[in-house]
Amino acid sequence: MTTTAAPTPATPSRSRRIIAISLAIIAALVVAFFAFANLYADFLWYDQLGFDSVLLTQWFARVVMFVIGFLGMAVPVWLAIQLAYRLRPVYARLSSQLDRYQEVVEPLRRLAMWGIPVFFGFFAGFAASAQWETTWLWLNGVATTTTDPEFGLDTGFYLFAMPFYSTLVGFVSAVLLVCLLVTALVSYLYGSVRIGQRELRISKSARIQLAVIAGLYLLVQAASLWLDRYKTLVEPGDRITGPGYTGVNAIIPGQTILAFAALVVAVLFFITAIIGRWRYPLIATALLVVSAIVLGVGYPWVVNTFQVQPNRFSLEEPYYQRNVDMTHEAYGVDGLEKQDFQAATDAEAGQLREDAATTAQIRIMDPAIISPTVRQLEQYRGYYQFQDPLDVDRYEIDGVSQDTVVSVRELDLSELGAAGDWQNTAVVYTHGYGLVAAKGNDRTGDGDPVFLERGIPAAGFLSDEENFQPRVYFGESSPTYSIVGAPEGAEPVELDYPTGGEGGSEKKTTFEGDGGPSLGSVFNRLIFALKFQAEQILFSDYVNEDSQILYDRNPLQRVQKAAPYLTLDSDPYPSVVDGRVVWIIDGYTLSANYPYSSTVSLASAISDSSNPAPRFALDDINYIRNSVKATVDAYDGSVTLYAWDEEDPVLQTWQKVYPSTLKPISEMSGELMSHVRYPTDLFKVQRTVLGVYHVDDARSFYQSDNRWQTPNDPQADSQLQPPYYLTMQMPGQESPTYSMFTSFIPSSTGGNARNVLMGYLAVDSNAGSDAGKKNSDYGKLRMLEIDAETTVPGPGQVQNTFDADPFVSSQINLLKQGQSEVLNGNLLTLPVGGGLLYVQPVFVQSSGATSFPALQKVLVSFGNDIAFEDTLNEALDALFGGDSGANAGDDDVDPTPGPTPSPSPTDPEQPEVPSDEYQAALEDAQQAMLDRDAALQAGDLTKFAEADERLTAAVEKLIALGIQE
């Protein structure tokens, strides 16, 4: 028998190893270059915008915090491992099991001793870098000059320092726990800690190391307990945010005692490190745990149960008052001006004479409805679009302020269809064109908007200005990116606007601004080709040395990147300022750490029928300021930030973090000031707060017998009614001013609130027209508290009255003829004529393929009276005894009658129809319809044809009698 030796395993050739290593290096370089390309593209974007310092600040802060976090974790863990290993007992007798553990661990010991600290260090570094804003706010925090009512500390401590200290305590605790864990593990593996025969033996070196780490951990916990005393001022309780009687007299003292107890236990651990007795610190630790249960849970329960609950108001009153006062301050409602309002409910002739200036500006063009109308009348091509809903603004025309409904004509590249290739979407279709503006208070005879600015090319009072720039390269619906710009004298390739009808010629243009990073170099083209995964950027002949790439074009996105510390209002709006279309955006500074201020969910507060609930990084807030007004130029995308609330301490702190990014309010032009308004989302938050905190004293707050809520939108019953802007004169004001309004009804936990008006809130939204100077009344909150003895129907009741009224219902049915759709507009509530007037425009939209709403009727209500006429002016006159005493904006409109007007039953030219003849014809038609349906189901075509003939005859008879189906 012969044997064959086993073949020797082939070893990898040197060339294969070189190839593998080379491929790995190449792959790493490719990944690194992609990461670099993204970072470099970001830098080019910020640099072109002039906010490169913002990006560099973020990069620097993140790197510094990563290094601090990495070293703060890795170094102590490395030291703990090294000390535990180097101070191990060399000649200790180990068990066989530990010997096996060491045999396994020893080959990897060097790697583990360095790898474990690096592993934990990376996690700590990334966690620390995510907290750079908290750290920088602490480093740059300012004083607020307002102190908390419990400890007397400046509120800046809670806004800036306390979050940092909490983060620091948590980080140090994590480091010490990891050090304690690895020390115990290494000590056990190498015999410094031995367990056996019901005995725990610890070497001197391990004892010192473990006791010192444990003592340091207890010191940190003492600091944490001390800090918890201050945290109680921003923690929500059962009724208020901040400590009440139980918190001040039981919880805070208990935390103070526990903090000193933890300090004592820490000292005992340090003593143990010297004398070697574990009994005292372990017993003290157990007592500390028991004390925490007694002082943290038991004692507060006893105080609350046996002292507070039987005497709640007498004990809690000063703390409720703290909550009321600090909440008013935190949300900026402390200057609320309240007025008792005895509402009139009887409509009489001439009642609106003193409110003529208000009625002239009542808006009947609902921006949430007429977007399809504007699109049909002003779109011109399928690749254009308008926002839905439209925005509102105001302009001064011939010395008179005119409320307007506005929107920018933007691109909609999805409508290009097969023509939507790269060249068209990136090079040709680059911008929208023009802005449309229509009167909010007027209509044409056909029910369409009355345009003040419209058309392609632009025509109107805005485009008549010198140097008007209608092109919109930066908007809410701009393309993802566009490549623009060309050498002087080159033939334009960008579509400016179409001329003539479909198939007509086109006007071309070339972008001449500075709106994006340059594509002049091959390297930059490669960078952006990688960023947008578009090789055409690298190879296209349309990209030249003067090309720029425009991206991140949404105004909200640009402002958010330029000022990442702001939370932005959800409703940016376009205005024409000094001949340029600009987007105006409100920015807020928020906090959840204002002492004794109640918490509000930002998403819930601003959610209504016009704005679905958004998401926020910081949703539960208890402090808000409209600190910044921002503008974005629609042509070149330039962003300008103005420090609107220069007294805001949060903004002052961020200005120190990002210096030189904000301009003072003194640099705002007068024309820009005339278009600035009070922000929508801030007003929504304030109305949410005022539903509970419109009271000033603790007793009213405690009794909760006068809580209010915002009524639901009658057109979307499960969502809140949005506030609205109007130029109107509130009771007590000397003249009409541009303001925002909302109403209140009684609050109900079950959702069945009685829909009657309890309050009416307005805020002066006119910032004035003087350069760099706010109107003295801007932001003034005025509330009408409606007398409880007067029942004023709320929006829900009024809408129900409109819908149930027989005359209105019959007229609505006539408007629906031919399957037309009736759309109810916004239901406005106006304090005029000594009472509350409701106005609701009614639009009709046909069922055809090309349909859009047209204003046909207006509903009005005052007290228990209603009117339903073709124009607002006619409706007011009808409501107020034939002459309201004032004119609406549509007073000179002669409505065009509908295509099939309903004959009036009192028209002398129409003979009365005998009821028995009409009834007989109607019954014949109904029976014929039943017979026809039955025949169709039975499949009997003969009977179907016979029934159909009878139905036709009955219908013809009804028509002959003058009754229209």
**Using one digit for the tens of pLDDT, what is the confidence trace for 270-325?**
999 888 888 889 999 999 999 999 999 999 999 999 999 999 999 999 999 999 99
At residue 751 the predicted structure's pLDDT band, cuts being 50, 70 and 90, is: low
Q: What is the DSSP letter of 298?
A: I
In whole angstroms, give the CA distance from residue 318 to residue 325. 11
In whole angstroms, give the CA distance from residue 29 to residue 435. 48
Q: What is the largest CA-CA distance in the chain?
A: 131
Instruction: Determine the average pLDDT of the residues in 34-54.
Output: 94
- At residue 790, the pLDDT reads 84
- At residue 754, the pLDDT reads 80
Q: Give long-range contacts, CB 8 A cutoff, 24+ apart: 294-301.
A: 295/254, 295/255, 295/257, 295/258, 296/251, 296/254, 296/255, 296/258, 299/250, 299/254, 300/246, 300/247, 300/250, 300/251, 300/254
Token pair listed for 869: 């006429």
pLDDT tens-digit series, residues 439-458: 999 999 989 999 999 999 88
Nearest to 251 by CA among 227, 229, 222, 223: 229
pLDDT tens-digit series, residues 142-194: 999 899 999 999 999 999 999 999 999 999 999 999 999 999 888 877 777 77
Could you check whether the bond before residue 457 is cis, i.e. omega within 30 degrees of 0? yes
Q: What is the DSSP letter of 294?
A: I
AA identity, residue 235: E
Look at 194 and 651; give whichever has higher pLDDT: 651
Instruction: Determine the average pLDDT of the residues in 46-74.
Output: 96
Q: Is the pLDDT of residue 912 over 60?
A: no
Q: Which of 213-227, 538-552, 605-619 has the lowest mean pLDDT?
A: 605-619
At residue 206 the predicted structure's pLDDT band, cuts being 50, 70 and 90, is: confident
Give the distance from CA 374 to its chain's centroid: 27
Q: CB neighbours of 351 closer than 8 A, spacing ≥ 6? A: 344, 833, 834, 880, 881, 884, 885
Mean pLDDT, rounded, of the chain: 88
According to the 3-state scheme, what is the secondary structure of 478-537? CCCEEEECCCCCCCCCEEEEECCCCCCCEEEECCCCCCCCECCCHHHHHHHHHHCCCCHH
Instruction: Determine the average pLDDT of the residues in 312-339.
Output: 95
At residue 901 the predicted structure's pLDDT band, cuts being 50, 70 and 90, is: very low
Q: Is the pLDDT of residue 900 over 60?
A: no
Token pair listed for 133: 């804003």
The DSSP H or E segment spanning 68 is: helix 52-86
Strands 623-633 and 580-591: antiparallel
List strand residue ranges (DSSP E) for 605-656, in order: 620-621, 623-633, 639-643
In whole angstroms, give the CA distance from residue 161 to residue 554. 35
In whole angstroms, give the CA distance from residue 775 to residue 772. 10
Instruction: Determine the average pLDDT of the residues in 834-847.
Output: 91
Instruction: Determine the average pLDDT of the residues in 250-265.
Output: 96
Q: Is the pLDDT of residue 929 over 70?
A: no
Q: Is the pLDDT of residue 905 over 60?
A: no
Instruction: Determine the average pLDDT of the residues in 5-25.
Output: 72
pLDDT tens-digit series, residues 516-565: 999 999 999 999 999 999 999 999 999 999 999 999 999 999 999 999 99
How big is the CA angle at 138 (ends 133 and 139), to the nearest 5 degrees? Answer: 100
Q: Is the pLDDT of residue 16 over 90?
A: no
- At residue 784, the pLDDT reads 95
pLDDT tens-digit series, residues 385-401: 999 999 999 999 988 89
Q: Is the pLDDT of residue 2 over 70?
A: no
Q: Which of 9-18, 43-52, 679-688, 907-916 has the lowest mean pLDDT?
A: 907-916
Token pair listed for 80: 């703990």
CA distances from 653 to 160, 580, 640 (A): 9, 32, 19
Beta bridge partners of 740: 725, 763
CA pseudo-torsion sign 360, 363, 364, 365: positive
Q: Which of 118-122, 838-842, 938-942 has the lowest mean pLDDT?
A: 938-942
Q: Is 583 helix (H, G, I), strand (E, B) or coil?
A: strand
Q: Is the pLDDT of residue 674 over 90?
A: yes
- At residue 423, the pLDDT reads 94
Look at 503 and 572; give whichever has higher pLDDT: 572
Instruction: Determine the average pLDDT of the residues in 649-674.
Output: 95
Nearest to 526 by CA among 29, 25, 41: 41
- At residue 424, the pLDDT reads 94
Q: CB neighbours of 280 closer than 8 A, spacing ≥ 6? A: 268, 271, 272
Q: How many percent of the chain have pLDDT more than 90?
A: 67
In whole angstroms, give the CA distance from residue 215 to residue 206. 14
- At residue 908, the pLDDT reads 33
Token pair listed for 699: 């007793």
Query: What pTM did the predictor assign?
Result: 0.87
Strands 828-830 and 821-824: unpaired
Residue 492 CB neighbours (<10 A): 12
Q: Is 432 helix (H, G, I), strand (E, B) or coil?
A: strand
- At residue 918, the pLDDT reads 59
Look at 99 and 753; give whichever has higher pLDDT: 753
Q: How many percent of the chain have pLDDT more than 70?
A: 89
